Amino acid sequence: MRLFNKLLLVHILMISVGLPVLSEANHDIEDKIYIAQSDGKVTAVVSGVKSDTFRLKPKERVLWRNASGYLGAVLTDAGFNVISVSSNYWNNIRLSPYEIETATASVSPFIALLVTEDRAIGYNIATDSFYEVRLPLYDSVIAVKSAENVAVVVTSGTLLGLQSKSSYFTEARLKIGETVENVHLTDNNVTVQTRERLYTFTSTGSGWQVTDLD
């Protein structure tokens, strides 16, 4: 119930400030966040008005940064930092030095995604919080992609789908020996093709749909 109330509040907030709600219509989303790095600190300007800064620790390095639509994200060698137009402040999740070596980050207008060898970490504007799932032992990461309302993590044995308004990853397991041949994203849909099957995941669906190609 708390999550539903928060999603409803965010939905109302998005409408009140002119943010688009989920739609199949094609449209360009203006970037609302600008990220700047200088003098041992990182500053985000939100909607051209508000700003928030976090300071880097001594010897902490920025490895990647990007902003898209209503989210901005920064990966350093100490953690993953995300800010949104609805939070107006930086949120941080710490990473171990071991995780940094394999970290891959992606950000789209509503979803920020970070994947290491051990876990997948998601963040979206609807919940303004991090949530994560452990990756299966011995799986190797194949793809990490995000689009406007969906994101996907593809490993050698698992598909993890993420929706812009959910607070969890949705899993589909590949069969033993099944090899991923293609990963395709649109604003609201994910399609993963193997030699034997098509796996599809949508921004409004309840899970992965599987179609046999035989």
CB-CB neighbours of 132 under 10 Å: 17
Distance (Å, rounded) from C-alpha 155 to C-alpha 174? 9
At residue 128, what is the residue type? D
pLDDT tens by residue, the chain, 214 residues? 444 444 444 444 443 444 444 433 445 789 999 999 998 999 999 999 889 999 999 999 999 999 999 999 999 999 999 999 998 899 999 999 999 999 999 999 999 999 999 999 999 988 999 999 999 999 999 999 999 999 999 999 999 999 999 989 999 999 999 999 999 999 999 999 999 999 999 999 999 999 999 8
pLDDT of residue 17: 41
Please state the length of the chain: 214
Q: Where are the beta strands (DSSP E) in the chain?
A: 33-38, 41-46, 50-55, 62-68, 71-76, 79-84, 91-94, 104-107, 111-115, 119-124, 130-134, 141-146, 150-155, 158-163, 170-173, 180-185, 189-194, 197-202, 209-212
Distance (Å, rounded) from C-alpha 80 to C-alpha 104? 11
Question: Radius of gyration of the chain from Cα atoms?
Answer: 17
Choose among 26, 66, 33: nearest CA to 148: 26
**What ranges in 66-138 are assigned the alpha helix state H?**
97-100
pLDDT of residue 81: 98
